[in-house]
Structures are given as structure tokens and as C-alpha cells.
Structure 1
């Protein structure tokens, strides 16, 4: 902060000294004498005023314009009607003091024409020529300010656009993370819930009676604990995905189905076609579809059997998961089914589901849409 303040102060002092020097010695170019009450006094006044240009740019320009008019009309200064105001004019324009800037330019250019004729008996053509020169002196800094402001606005717009894109990307990433966390947690809770129910059923009889099945309860609790451990491993893998570690795919589907078997489901799997040629993006999407379908079966349907079919046929991968449980009709999709549809749609695929004699999910994923082989 102190360094910036020192830099601004040094720049202001340099501009003031340069203005003083130019205003003092410019009359020599037209053969006018250098006097203390003329060029030196005007240069000193304009230089001192410029020290305040950042605080009160409009006031500095107005006072500088008034002083210059007095010196020019009284003959104390004979070099220019407008160009000595260039630094003050530049600052006022940059500070958006457009009214005082426009008035100053108009008045001084008018005096550059008519003042020369009235006060110095200059011919009309020569007065117009001098006014054109003065206009050039004023137009150059104004053009520089305009270009600088346009560039600044363009940079600001580009930065705003980049910020919008960044926010949109973050929003998409948050949605994707929420889907993945939902899938992992929901699937694990479904598996654990089933086994806790089994354990509770095994222990619900009279503790002293023959109906208690401690071994079954222990096995169910062990399976629930294993599901919890698998969920922790999957969450770690998910964090690894965020860090760039390869994501899950078709090869991990068997682990999902093993968990379903341990939960008491009879699982049938069918694989057809060259599944090894499925790209990473499609492989991940297929895994997520199967995981969500298995989770829904465990949580909602009360099914006894689950069938999974994976078919790579031509330019598409078809995934079908069906169970024989009781499904609600019509099906109201929750976060899981909605997230599954969004994931598949993101790679150009489609998902549909239906309930009838059980619940069936069908997904069609286009092949060859990017990613490496799974």
C-alpha cells in the first residue's frame, strides 16, 4: 500500500514538474519573452493544481482553464489556448467528469479562433489553423483515455464471463459430487439395512427359546460390517476420483452384485459382446446405472431375484436390470433415478424404467464417445 502511494505521488510530482517546464519554455517557440509574471507564474500555478488532480479532477480542470484564459486574454502568455490543459483534461476525462471536460474543450477552442482575432488581430485562416492544432493536442489524450477505458471494460467483461463459467462449472461439479455421494451412501445403507433386519428377525424370539438364531444374526451383522467397510473403501475411491485416480467401471459391477447376493438376492448376470472395448466414460455410466438399480431393489422392492444384462452391440452399450419385486406404479423418480438419467444423458445416452411384474431399468449408452478402454 505504501509503495503504491509513493508511486502515485512520484507520478503526480513528475507530471507537475513536466507541465511547469513545458509551459515555461513553450513561448520561446513563438519568439515570446520569458517573464516571471507570465510563463513562470502560469507554469507554477498549473503545476501546483495538478498535484490535486486525483482528489478533485473537475475542480482542477475548471481552475486551470480559467487561469489559462486570464493569462492568454491579458497577453501574459502567448503560446497556446488549450494544450497546457492536456494533463488536467486527461485526468478529468478519466474520472468521468464529462460535463466540465466538454465545456472546457468548447470554450478554449472557441477562444482559440475568436480570441486570436479579437485580442491579437490574427487572420481568420491562421486562427482556424491554430484552433485545429489545439484540437489535435486535446484530442490525442482524450482518444488515449477512451481506448484505455474500452480496453478496461473489455477486460472486465471477459473476467466476468470467466467468473460465470467458473461458477457454472463449480455448480456442475457440486451436482455431480452430490450424485456420487448419494449413490455410495444410499447403496450402503440399503445393504446394511437389509442385514440389520435379518439380524433383528433372528433375535426377536424369546432369548431362552429355540427360536433364537444367534449364528444367523452374527452372519448378518458381519455382512453389514463388511458393507460398511466396502462403503468406506468406495468413498476413498471416490476421493481418489476427484484427485484424478481412474474411476470405477464395468469390472467393479461384480462387487455390487456380490453384495446383493450376500443380502439374500438371487442374482443372474448376462454379458454379451466386446465389453472390453467400452470406453471409460460409458463404463463408469454403466456402473452407476447398475449401482442405482441394485440399491433401489434392495431398499424398495422386496425382490427375491435380480437380473443384470450387459450387451455391447455395434455402436451402443445396453444395460438392463430387472427384479421380481413389488414396485410402485407409477414410479416417482427420486434423487437416485434423476441423477442416473442426468449422468447417462451427459454422454448422449438414454434411460427408461417401468414397473409391472417387478421393476426394470434400461439404459442405452453410445459407444466410442471418448475415454480410454475400461
Structure 2
């Protein structure tokens, strides 16, 4: 993803330089005409400046526009370009049309984008044929149409490459998180097994020993009785130590979720993820830990797919006898929430463990709050 952004940053810069070059050449040719039509020069300069300004805004990665604003900006940019066709009699301005076509893939499929390009060329052909009375516009239109098709196919290739790379990186993060959780679950299972074996074997044997020593203590006398009493006291002390050890092992068999969550959110593309976990969560249920991990995974995926957010907050906290997972992005979600298969599956997982989930969409972004009552 980093390589793609670096490449896209370079292409963005070249695109801006190309627009500026076309603007300067067209303005220079207009100024050189005798007599100079200064109102025409001023109008053309304003149109070029507007086109370049919109291109700068729509290709900004740090603060991307919302979908509706992006579409409005792109349409306005196209109108400015058509106005330039009417203002200046230079067919090479259609180079900007090739640059503009790179925006089509942001809100339509490749097939539709390809279908739009002949319409744009027809407008270009019509303006220069009937408004400027140019000849041989069929050849010029065909050449600039090829440029538009090249731009559309190249942008589509970049998008597909980016999606494939992001999918691969996401799968890798999910595998790393699952591996970390599996390691924790195996460690917990081993600790519980050891604690159970100590309790069942050593504990029972020591219990039997203390009972036999107690019987022997009642049946013996003198110095022998004193030795039996000492042995009985030591056996009781050992039994107490074994019980404390078993209890301590069970208490320390909690699952540490931090490593798994950090692996899941590491280097997420286009998102700055802030992960906050309380220190004393004490999660002992593997299924609960897995559900929390899947909830974070699904929320991250939805944010990347359906939002233009650049920040994502995750807070896993303990509140009395409940566990709360709060997640929020800073995107602009739809006002009406329509849970798909992913959110429906998340809800089913949570309800199976007696938990509750709440979705909300506000101007601040989309938030998901999950509560597991009595989970701690």
C-alpha cells in the first residue's frame, strides 16, 4: 500500500504539472495574438485555476471529500473544462479531459466509465466543429478518446492492484491475530490442565495422607504420637500450599488479548487506529475472546469498505461486572443503518454469549458498542 501511495503521489504531481503546462501554453498563445483579447485571457485563467483547484482537492489523500461532495466537485470540474472548450480554440486542452476521466472509477464501474468516454468525445467534437469551425476533428477526437481510455484502464489497474494488496494484507493481519489468540488459548488450556492434574492427583493423595495420619495420631502414644502429629501438620501445610497453587494457576490462566488485537490493527491502510485496553480485563473464556476479535475485525472491514474515515478508535474496558467494547470511526455513514451479513453475523455471535450490541451513525462517524454482562 505504501508503494502504491508513493506511486499515486508521483502521478498526482505529474497530473498537476500537466494541467499547469496546458494552462500556461494556452494562455501564452492567446496573449501572443494581435490584438490580445484580455477578457478572454482572464476568463481562461480563472477556468484553468478552477480546474486545477478542484483536481488538487479531489486527489487529496489526507482529507478526502465525502462521496456526494466528490461527485459535485467532479461534475463542476467537467463543466469548467467544457467552458474552456468554448473559450479557447485549442484542441490540446482535451488533454485535461484525459486527466479528468481518471475520476470516473471512483463512482462507477470500468464498463460504465468506458461507455462515458465516447459521450465526452462527442461533446468535444461538437464544440470544435460547430463553434470553432475546425476540420479533421474526427482524427483529433479519436486520438484524445484513446487518451481517455488509457487513463481509465490505468486507474482501474491501480485500483484493482490496491484492493488485491489490501485484501492480502488484511488476511495476513487476521492470520497473525488468530495465531496470537490460538497461542493464548493453548497456554490457558495447558495451565488449566496442569492445575486440574495437581488438584486431582497430588491434592487427593495429600488428603488421603492427612486422613491416615489423623487416624494414626489417635492410635499412637508417646514419642511416636508426637512424630505423627508433626507429619500431620506438614501434610496439612502441603495440602494448603497445593490448593493455593492450583487457585493461583487458574487465576493466571486469563487470555491476553492485547497481542492479538495489535496484530489485527497493525498498519491498516488509510486508517490511524487507536487501541486502548484496560489493564485488568481478566478474560478467561476463549469464545468470548474470539468474539471480541471478530467484532473488531468486522468493524475495521466495514469502515474501510463503506467509509472515508481516516481514524478508528477501539476501547475495551471493564465496568463493574461487565465488559464493554466501543469502536468508532470519523467517517460519514448513511443516516439509515442497514446491517449486512457481516453485522448480522457479529450480532448473532454476541447474542449467543448473552451480550448486546448497539450501532449508531452521527455526524462524528459510525460507532459500535458491545456489552457482555457478567463476563468478568
TM-score, with normalisation over the residues of structure 2?
Answer: 0.45
Structure with bigger gyration radius: 1
TM-score, with normalisation over the residues of structure 1?
Answer: 0.45
